[in-house]
Amino acid sequence: MSIIFKNNTFYLSSDNTSYVIGIEDDKLSTYYWGKRIPEENIEYYTKNLYATWAFNKDLTPQEFPEYATGDYKNPVIEIELPDGSSVTDFRYKTHNIMKGKPDLPQLPHTYCNEDADADSLDIYLQDAVYDITAVIHYSVFKCGAITKSVTLCNGLETGIRINRIASASFDMFNDNYQIVSLHGAWSRERHFYKHQLQKGIYSFGSNRGTSSHNVNPFFALASQNADENHGDVYAFNMVYSGNFEAAVELNPWNVIRAQIGMNPFEFSWKLEKGESFNTPETVMVFSADGFNGMSGIYHSLYRNNLCRGKYKLSPRPILINNWEATYFDFDENKLMKIAEKAKSIGVELFVLDDGWFGKRNDDKSSLGDWQVNTEKLPSGLDGIASKLNSLGLKFGLWIEPEMISPDSKLYEEHPDWCLHVPQRERSQQRFQLVLDLSRREICDYITDAVSKILESANISYIKWDMNRYMTEVYSVSLPKDRQKEVSHRYVLGLYGIMERLTSRFPDILFEGCSGGGGRFDPGMLYYMPQIWTSDDTDAYERMHIQYGTSMVYPISTMGCHVSAVPNHQTGRTTPLKTRGEVSMSGNFGYELDLSKCSEDELKEMRRQIEFYKENRTLIQFGRYYRIMSPFESNYAIWQFVSEDKKESLVFAFKKLNETNKTAIRFRLLGLDGKYKYKMVQNGMVLSGEVLMNVGVVFPDNMGDYESCVMKFVAEN
């Protein structure tokens, strides 16, 4: 990994990747991004490859594209200048190459554990007329990921307004690429979509205030032949939890511009004299080894250089959550009965979900009144925590601190604390409103209220929920010309709260949640190393959701629970074994009334937990490969391999049983061909070469939704 500057050209390289940027007439051109190339032949780019097109900015690949000087694709930036124009001309001024990676103030970002993890480059550009500077920040990590963000600084005596700013923009020639994205909806998050890139602009984004269930701040351009293990993939993932826009344009001359950044819809930011604005960062990954290659880089970077805190690389506890077991209808006795059974099968953490505070017996009230309901919990949080602790279980708690119920004491005291436009109706979703986190005093209140809860009992885990999108995005504390800053200020306020709380309570494991996986993005992972993947706990649905999520996000970030059948979201009945094995492919837990389970069911769960404990490190932190896609076949198959390649686990799931079909054979990935592996389930010994080339067969069991697990251990 290195950053070299020679012949007016920057070469950012890792073992497998090169990103090459040239300076021509003080403007930045993107020469190349892809498989590693040597730092030579620079004349080829300037005199041959791009020279013939230099007359036309629609053709030349630009590193910092601007508006109104002959390039008609989406610009990276659009600023309202003091003369009323938006015409900018940012030119190269200087640059700085650094070991390590500087912090990105106020925003979540990837970081180095030691300087040797990454090299960084800041390129300073200055407008030809006005004293406005744009700094493009790059880092190249050992694993091959490249991060990019922009800082805009106003050196003028007067204010300017940013109306559009992307965090990454990349131009290249089209090679018959396809676009990959992770679209979904509530209970159906992050499904894998792939389609042919067409002329024009394909864009998607969120204007809901959170990254949302419907879209994820991720997309990739993939070559025509790309599959899990082959083909070129160019991927972009923005480290941000609010509104964003991703856009891929294919112009008439076959040039692609791929961008991701702040969603310009309802966004603008006033930059006063001397102020600067930082965009969130985007993590760009190139893989010549298909989607598994891409995911391997994201997983390793996010685990080691994005997630933080005590739990970053520590085994995550197996939990029982009472939500699908009791919903709002519980008291201490009922919870303790579930807890006792949980302890008896080997669970480690009891999570008390919604309904423990105020007068909240349904979802119509009390958000904001974070005082324990002593009718349900007569001995308070401290009391139940002590009882659970004496039983040998840790205690975790659900909270939704960004919200306020109109039916709450907090709302009576502070009716103006929610996002709203005076005189207009306040749209409710799930009977609740959103607190205005663009206001410092409200962020302080939340930090304080949550701190008090955390100090009131022995709490080891927090599930931080956020159950609605934003409407009437307006803050009564901001002047009218700053209202389009509110949604970004909200996200900055939230990040500030989470930074304060996670550093004040470093021993607590925080799990993010937003009506399931409505805010499953790298921004959240910087503060909370795991996220509730989806409210849909049906094993069949989860095969898809977890497969899609794993494209970008490590297994250690996904919360996955076994729930009762018929499933509460789909009405489907799947075998307990399959439910267990789907959930074991993430941070494992249960979410059903264990006090109502039969002895046989409890016995099966005990077996699952024992197995998970034995294999937890391999699953949560091993190298993960997808083998067969539920989006393209009747099966979902994935595999975990330990770092030393001596252990591997395969989880295979069948959707529907098909009669009189050839048994499904699949090849393993990522093993050491020279090792001999013993298959634990049947004692057979096979070489890595055989397992990876000949493969194994999915046992031909009867029944729908069958699953099987195979473990392979290398013999000395």
Binding site for ligand GLA (CB under 6 A): 323, 353-354, 398, 465, 467, 513, 515-516, 532, 535
Closest to ligand GLA by CB, 236 or 532: 532
Peptide bond into 529 cis (omega under 30): no
| Torsional sign, CA 597, 602, 604, 609 | positive
Quote the tokens at residue 276: 């600067």
Please classify residue 84 by burial: count the beta carbons closer than 10 Å to its beta carbon, then call 0-12 exposed, 13-18 middle and 19+ buried: exposed
- E runs forming strands in 8-117: 9-13, 17-24, 27-35, 77-80, 90-99
**Which of 465, 521, 536, 593 is the catalytic position?**
465
Distance (Å, whole) CA 202 – CA 455: 49
- Smallest separation (angstroms) from ligand GLA to the CB of 536: 10
Contact 645, 671 (CB under 8 A): yes
Contact 530, 174 (CB under 8 A): no
Closest to ligand GLA by CB, 229 or 429: 429
Contact 29, 21 (CB under 8 A): yes
Closest to ligand GLA by CB, 65 or 517: 517
Q: Is 465 a catalytic residue?
A: yes
Quote the tokens at residue 575: 């075998």
Distance (Å, whole) CA 303 – CA 514: 21
Closest to ligand GLA by CB, 20 or 531: 531
Contact 373, 360 (CB under 8 A): yes
Distance (Å, whole) CA 11 – CA 644: 32
Q: What's the Cα-to-Cα distance from 181 to each of 145, 214, 248, 299, 634, rounded to whole Å?
A: 19, 11, 11, 17, 21
- Smallest separation (angstroms) from ligand GLA to the CB of 362: 10
Closest to ligand GLA by CB, 544 or 654: 544
Q: What's the Cα-to-Cα distance from 165 to each of 78, 124, 152, 280, 603, rounded to whole Å?
A: 7, 16, 9, 10, 56
**Which of 353, 535, 538, 593 is the catalytic position?**
535
Quote the tokens at residue 3: 């950053």
Closest to ligand GLA by CB, 148 or 190: 190
Distance (Å, whole) CA 411 – CA 405: 7
- Smallest separation (angstroms) from ligand GLA to the CB of 363: 6
In 553-659, which residue ranges form alpha helices assigned H by DSSP? 576-583, 599-621
- Smallest separation (angstroms) from ligand GLA to the CB of 187: 10
CA 115 to chain centre: 25
Residue 354 has, within 13 A of its CA and on its CB side, a CA count of 22
Three-state DSSP class for 204? strand
- Smallest separation (angstroms) from ligand GLA to the CB of 513: 5
Closest to ligand GLA by CB, 63 or 591: 591
- Smallest separation (angstroms) from ligand GLA to the CB of 467: 5
Comparing CA positions, the residue from 566, 562, 533 lying closest to residue 550 is: 533
Closest to ligand GLA by CB, 245 or 354: 354
- Smallest separation (angstroms) from ligand GLA to the CB of 532: 6
Quote the tokens at residue 196: 């042919």
Amino acid at the residue 658: E
* Helix (H), strand (E) at residue 708: strand 707-714
- Smallest separation (angstroms) from ligand GLA to the CB of 183: 19
Give the CB-nearest residue to ligand GLA. Answer: 354
Closest to ligand GLA by CB, 457 or 513: 513
Q: Tally Cβ neighbours within 10 Å of residue 482.
A: 16
CA 208 to chain centre: 17
> Which residue has tokens 């809860």?
453
Regarding beta strands 394-399 and 461-464, do their DSSP bridges make them parallel or antiparallel, or are they unpaired?
Answer: parallel
Distance (Å, whole) CA 539 – CA 67: 49
> Which residue has tokens 């006005």?
130
b (16+ CB within 10 A) / e for 547-565? bbbbbbbbbbbbbbbbbbb
Distance (Å, whole) CA 116 – CA 711: 35
- Smallest separation (angstroms) from ligand GLA to the CB of 403: 10
Three-state DSSP class for 621? helix
- Smallest separation (angstroms) from ligand GLA to the CB of 323: 5
- Smallest separation (angstroms) from ligand GLA to the CB of 357: 12
Distance (Å, whole) CA 655 – CA 637: 11
Closest to ligand GLA by CB, 271 or 513: 513
- Smallest separation (angstroms) from ligand GLA to the CB of 351: 9
Which residues, 6+ apart, have CB-to-CB distance to 426 below 8 Å? 406, 418, 420, 433, 471, 472
Residues identified as active-site: 465, 535
